[in-house]
Amino acid sequence: MGISACAVCDGSSPLFRNHPVAVIGGGDVAMEEALFLARYASKVYIVHRFDHLESSVVMARRAMAHPKIEVVWQHEALEAFGKEDGTLAGIRIRDRRNGEVSDLAVNGLFFAIGHAPATAFLDGQVELDSGGYIVTPPGSTATSVPGVFAAGDVMDRKWRQAITSAGAGCIASMEAQHFLQARQESGAATLVPAVALDAAWAAQVKAATAAAEQQGSGDKAAPATAVPMSS
Ligand SMILES: Cc1cc2nc3c(=O)[nH]c(=O)nc-3n(C[C@H](O)[C@H](O)[C@H](O)COP(=O)(O)OP(=O)(O)OC[C@H]3O[C@@H](n4cnc5c(N)ncnc54)[C@H](O)[C@@H]3O)c2cc1C
């Protein structure tokens, strides 16, 4: 007990309040996790393999300026060890410069080393982005394949929360219903063709996604852009 992959989900637990915790990673997610944890923990160690952070400058500055946050440079975590009651006692870390192994006493360990969406099974049938997330236009769960909708962690680069996944699931069910209704009304067969990739539609999805990213929203969904569904 005491190991988590989500500071926002678990960081405020009494397990970590006023106790030292560690975050493994050196990117934006690690900085964000560390800053969130610093609200509750007595001390936040960022254990990072390199001598420089890989996050954006602004996030790095914010984290480095926080009095409770300390970066443990050029160290990698080897193992976590616990107390008799099953809670975390600390982590064993190795200095990459000289191989020296030491223990860091922490009550919490948070991973911020990336997230791999479980989309391999799609095997290229639906468009994915460079991180393996299913591409959907802002404000919609439509995918590159008409009639296939994606919701939850497989299409959400940023939030990946139970409630946002449930919300996306709700949108997906309504979009699927509208899709079937539109097909029925247009006289088309109600069955969705297996992989009927409409190139024009896919281009619109791409353009809408690129436009949202260009607006500086990054992973954050921009206001919904109307993308007509092909029938
Ligand atoms: C340790 C941890 C703590 C978390 N704590 C919180 C929290 O406190 N609050 C919060 O809001 N969020 C929390 N989250 C995030 C939250 O759990 C996820 O955002 C949410 O579960 C995503 O829902 P989902 O339906 O997209 O995916 P999942 O809940 O992962 O469901 C995916 C389902 O698809 C199934 N599946 C996978 N591949 C296939 C396949 N090929 N064929 C058929 N089925 C398949 C899986 O078995 C699974 O049942 C936490 C996550 C983790 C890992």
Tell me whether residue 134 is in a domain.
yes
Identify the sign of the CA torsion 5, 74, 83, 38: negative
Digit-coded pLDDT (tens) for 23-59: 999 999 999 999 999 999 999 999 999 999 999 999 9
Tell me whether residue 176 is in a domain.
yes
pLDDT at 197: 47
Tell me whether residue 166 is in a domain.
yes
**Residue minimizing CA distance to atom 47 of ligand 1:** 118
- Is 90 exceeded by the pLDDT of residue 214? no
**CA–centroid distance, residue 166 to ligand 1 (Å):** 10
Of residues 178, 185, 191, the one with CA closest to residue 228: 178
Q: What residues are annotated to the active site?
A: 6, 9-10
* In a shared domain, residues 97 and 172: no
* In a shared domain, residues 96 and 173: no
Query: Average pLDDT of the chain?
Result: 87
Distance from C-alpha of 220 to C-alpha of 160, rounded to nearest angstrom: 12
* In a shared domain, residues 149 and 168: yes
Pick the last residue of a domain from 111, 128, 146. 111
Looking at residue 188, which CATH number applies to its domain?
3.50.50.60
Task: Tell me the two tokens of residue 104.
Answer: 């860091």
Tell me whether residue 25 is in a domain.
yes
- Is 50 exceeded by the pLDDT of residue 66? yes
Distance from C-alpha of 91 to C-alpha of 83, rounded to nearest angstrom: 12
**CA–centroid distance, residue 153 to ligand 1 (Å):** 7
Q: Edge-to-edge, what's the strand order for the sheet holding 88-95?
A: 75-82, 88-95, 101-105
Distance from C-alpha of 83 to C-alpha of 89, rounded to nearest angstrom: 5
* In a shared domain, residues 157 and 204: yes
* In a shared domain, residues 131 and 76: no
Q: Is 153 in the pocket of ligand 1 (CB under 6 A)?
A: yes
User: What 3-state class would DSSP assign to 54?
Assistant: coil
Distance from C-alpha of 148 to C-alpha of 176, rounded to nearest angstrom: 8
- Is 90 exceeded by the pLDDT of residue 75? yes
Q: Categorise residue 88: left if φ over 0, alpha if ψ from -120 to 50, beta otherwise.
A: beta
* In a shared domain, residues 105 and 19: yes
Of residues 45, 47, 1, the one with CA closest to residue 25: 47
* In a shared domain, residues 87 and 64: yes
Q: Is 8 in the pocket of ligand 1 (CB under 6 A)?
A: no
> Is residue 109 classed exposed, middle or buried when 0-12, 13-18 and 19+ CB atoms within 10 A define those classes?
buried
* In a shared domain, residues 133 and 96: no
- Is 80 exceeded by the pLDDT of residue 213? no
**Residue minimizing CA distance to atom 42 of ligand 1:** 121
Tell me whether residue 9 is in a domain.
yes
Digit-coded pLDDT (tens) for 146-171: 999 999 999 998 888 899 999 999 99
Q: In the structure, how many helices (H) and strands (E) does the chain have?
A: 5, 8
**CA–centroid distance, residue 64 to ligand 1 (Å):** 32
**CA–centroid distance, residue 188 to ligand 1 (Å):** 35
Tell me whether residue 173 is in a domain.
yes
Domain count, the chain: 2
Q: Is 152 in the pocket of ligand 1 (CB under 6 A)?
A: yes
pLDDT at 222: 41
* In a shared domain, residues 129 and 213: yes
Tell me whether residue 230 is in a domain.
no
Domain range enclosing 167: 120-217
* In a shared domain, residues 169 and 151: yes
pLDDT at 202: 65
pLDDT at 195: 43
Pick the last residue of a domain from 111, 143, 174. 111
Contact 207, 138 (CB under 8 A): no
Ligand 1 atom having least distance to the Cα of 9: 8
